[in-house]
Structures are given as C-alpha cells and as structure tokens.
Amino acid sequence: MSIRINNIILRIDEDRDILIKKIAKKLKVSEEEVQNFKIIKESLDARKKNDIKYLYCVEVEHKNEKK
C-alpha cells in the first residue's frame, strides 16, 4: 500500500533531487524511512510570471505505513 501526497512545490531553479527531502518533511519522517516514491503528476504553475514553480503529486512507500 502506498501513500499519495499532493501539492509538493519545487521552485523552477530547484533540482528534482530535493523532492525526497520535501516528501520526508511533509510526512514528518526521516529520508531513510521513505523507501520509494513515484511521480504521479507534474505540473507547471506559471500564474505569477516572477514566481514559476512545479507542483507534484507523488505516491510514497514508507517503511512503517500503518504508523
């Protein structure tokens, strides 16, 4: 079973490798506890021209999902 997380935001200048840190922070766990994640949806928010960002929806496998 996996956990779905919506609205993870990355600025346009941030690398996609930061995504796992943001997932761990959103779940309030350490990065080591996140076993695997899959990007379900990636969209670009360009409503504000000076603040363009990516929005992600991901599915996460966690070591202790029941917890």
On the question of pLDDT at 60 being above 60, the answer is yes
> What does the pLDDT read at residue 25?
92
Which CATH topology does 3-62 take?
A: Alpha-Beta Plaits (3.30.70)
What average pLDDT does the segment 35-61 reach? 93
On the question of pLDDT at 32 being above 90, the answer is no
Q: In what order do the strands lie in the sheet with 34-45?
A: 3-11, 53-62, 34-45
| Mean pLDDT, the chain, integer | 89
Question: pTM surpassing 0.85?
Answer: no
Q: Where are the alpha helices (DSSP H) in 2-67?
A: 19-27
On the question of pLDDT at 67 being above 60, the answer is no
Percent of the chain residues topping a pLDDT of 70: 93
